[in-house]
Amino acid sequence: MALSVPIRMSQNKLDKRKNILLILACTIFYTVFVTLMNNWKVFSFVTIICCILYTFLITSFASRGSLLLKATSTMIAWFSLHAIDYLIFYCFLMIAGHSLDISKCVETVMSSGNMRAVFLAIDKLIEIVIFILCRKIYDKLRLLDQKYLGVVLAITTGSYIVMSVITAFIMSSTLWIIQLTVIFALVFIVLSFIMTVFAISLSSKYQTEKREIELMSLTNEMMKKNFEQTQNAQTAVRHQVHDFKNHMRTLNGMLENGSPAKKYVEDLLSVSYEQAKLCHSNNDVINSVINCKIEEARDENIPFEHYVMLSSPVYLSSVDICAILANQIDNAIEACKRINNGKERSIKVKIWQKEAFLFFKVTNTAPGNPFDEKKELKSSKTDNTDMHGLGVKNIMRTVSRYGGTLKNEYANGYFTSVAMLPNNKLN
């Protein structure tokens, strides 16, 4: 446990077989070393320091994390193991100890074959259970920034030092001091352990949220650039089609009547180049997003309708318009793609202004109720990544930043998403 936990925290770099063999070999050496040290002195700070340094060296060799991460994971592993050891040992002393002399109680527990075997079995079983329960928290340690790793390392190291000093004090004091010290030690160990776990959980949650925000901001900026490029490409294609028709008409006039070439050109000109009903509002970003999504919907055989009525300028940033509108339509397209019957697919987009507010409304058919029993949107993705639901989070984050509202509803086979935002120059 003292080796496998910090190696896992720091992300082992060896394959599974080599990692197991390394831990087994190092554990044998560690056991021999501790046994020799305990024959010299049962409780020694020298033994503890040597074991911690030994663990750090093995972790440094077998894992790929930073030195600070390896040091922090080493201290967390040793603090957790010894905190559990001491708590269980104190409980055994109170149950099995028959002498007022603490050293005799220790000797009773540790020298008795049956008593020692029971103590070790319970102690290691509890350590394994706690490790299994906390392994997700341990894995999150790798997500922390260096400064948070430093804080966790300082807390853990300080707690470990105090815990070890208290234990040494207990071993050499009078009964009433021992009783008070044991109570204080138990409370301190529990609180320190809780603070360490809480610090890791809180910091990792903050880091996860920070990563999501950074990812959403980067995605929004990339979407904006992509839609701008798509809009420019669509405009260029329309110009080329227009020029092509003019060239063909000119060529047609230059050819002899009745010639095969003239007939071929006339056939080309008679073809109706059906164009999609593109969006032509007074906002280029809204135009590019909707026109791009029209093409995507057409490729997926999804009827797409849009209505945009803007009576005044839109003061939202281009990136935020993409974050809201593009994610709303993307979610609608994903829902429609899961409907097998193409005739039941449909998407309707409506954008309008009312007083000082701007509304984005997207309605689409859905294969079923997307809300769970907690009235929260369920993800349709089946993979195990941690990035599910970022589209909806992106919309909510952007809307809330403007002080607006987002309302999602499902009724009669239709899902509706309405985002309302204040539209003023202060944006």
Would you list the DSSP string of 143-194? GS-HHHHHHHHHHHHHHHHHHHHHHHHHTTS-HHHHHHHHHHHHHHHHHHHH
pLDDT at position 231 = 59
Q: What secondary structure letter does DSSP report for 378? A: P
Q: Amino acid letter at 280? A: H
What does the alpha-carbon distance between residue 388 and residue 390 come to, in Å, rounded to a whole number?
Answer: 6
What does the alpha-carbon distance between residue 247 and residue 228 come to, in Å, rounded to a whole number?
Answer: 28
Looking at per-residue confidence, does 118 or 178 come out higher? 118
pLDDT at position 388 = 38
pLDDT interval class at 387 (50, 70, 90): very low
Which of 355-391 are b and which e, b meaning 16 or more Cβ less than 10 Å from the residue's Cβ? eeebebbbbbbbbeebeeeeeebebeeeeeeeeeebb
Q: What is the mean pLDDT of the chain?
A: 76
Decide if 421 contacts 316 (C-beta within 8 A).
yes
pLDDT interval class at 272 (50, 70, 90): very low
Q: Give 91-112 as a 3 state SS string.
A: HHHHHHCCCCCHHHHHHHHHHC
Decide if 128 contacts 122 (C-beta within 8 A).
no
Which range (13-27, 81-95, 164-178, 276-290) has the least confidence? Answer: 164-178
Looking at per-residue confidence, does 180 or 353 come out higher? 353
Residue 363 has pLDDT above 90, yes or no: yes
What does the alpha-carbon distance between residue 387 and residue 416 come to, in Å, rounded to a whole number?
Answer: 23
Tens of pLDDT, residue by residue over 224-238, are 666 566 556 555 655
Query: Measured over all CA atoms, what is the biggest interatomic distance in the chain, rounded to whole angstroms?
Result: 123
pLDDT interval class at 392 (50, 70, 90): confident
Which range (9-23, 347-361, 404-418) has the least confidence? Answer: 9-23
User: Which of 213, 204, 210 lies closest to 401 in space, CA to CA?
Assistant: 213
Residue 327 has a CB neighbour count (10 Å cut-off) of 25
In percent, how much of the chain has pLDDT > 90?
Answer: 13
Give the distance from CA 241 to its chain's centroid: 46
User: Which of 221, 144, 213 lies closest to 387 in space, CA to CA?
Assistant: 213
pLDDT at position 20 = 84
Dihedral sign from CA coordinates of 179, 180, 181, 186 = positive
pLDDT at position 177 = 59
What does the alpha-carbon distance between residue 141 and residue 159 come to, in Å, rounded to a whole number?
Answer: 18
Decide if 314 contacts 283 (C-beta within 8 A).
yes
Is the pTM for the entire model greater than 0.75?
no
Side by side, the strands of the sheet bearing 357-365 are 304-309, 347-354, 357-365, 414-422, 405-411
Q: What are phi and psi of 418, to 5 degrees?
A: -125, 120
Residue 101 has pLDDT above 70, yes or no: no
pLDDT at position 33 = 78
